[in-house]
Amino acid sequence: MAFCIAVIGKDNAPLYLTTSDMEQELDLQYHVNAALDVVEEKCLIGKGSPESKELYLGLLYSTENQKIYGFVTNTRVKFIVVIDSSNVALRENEVRAIFRNLHLLYTDAICNPFYIPGESLTSKKFDRAVQKLMSGTA
């Protein structure tokens, strides 16, 4: 289902990045990096309205092969998901569910007392859960 899932810190440093297709890893990293600019633009636009409690940013942009979606937490941690654009059966509610599950997994991982804030995520449990999420079995 998903090509790539990235967790980006508030200073735009990658905390976690995984891809399902290693041959396209560099290309997917480029798309994630390009999506950060769109995320920043959407956050600046949404900053003016006090009712902007919506953390789901929706479709950031689309290419021929991928659709890139974004999500921002209240601590400015960004989640970027790159999905195959040939998957036309994927609805907006399912993408929201992916981000909701990813956010829950992330909060569980950083609540570990041994996690140092700002460090990259190296949890095997988090890896397995994200792989399940990418395959669509979660």
Say how many domains are in the chain: 1
- Do β-strands 56-62 and 2-8 pair in parallel, antiparallel, or remain unpaired? unpaired
Signed CA dihedral, 126, 78, 59, 31: sign only: negative
Hey, what are 52's tokens? 């902007």
> In the prediction, which pLDDT does 72 show?
92
Find the domain containing 6 and state its range. Answer: 2-135
Q: What's the pTM?
A: 0.85
Question: Which segments of 23-111 does DSSP mark as H helices, in order?
Answer: 25-47, 92-110
Cβ-based neighbour number of residue 12 at 10 Å: 13
Give residue for tokens 């297709």: 21
Residues linked to residue 84 through DSSP beta bridges, in sequence order = 66
Any idea what the CATH number is for the domain that residue 85 is in?
3.30.450.70
Tell me the average pLDDT of the chain: 84
Q: Looking at residue 46, what is its pLDDT?
A: 62
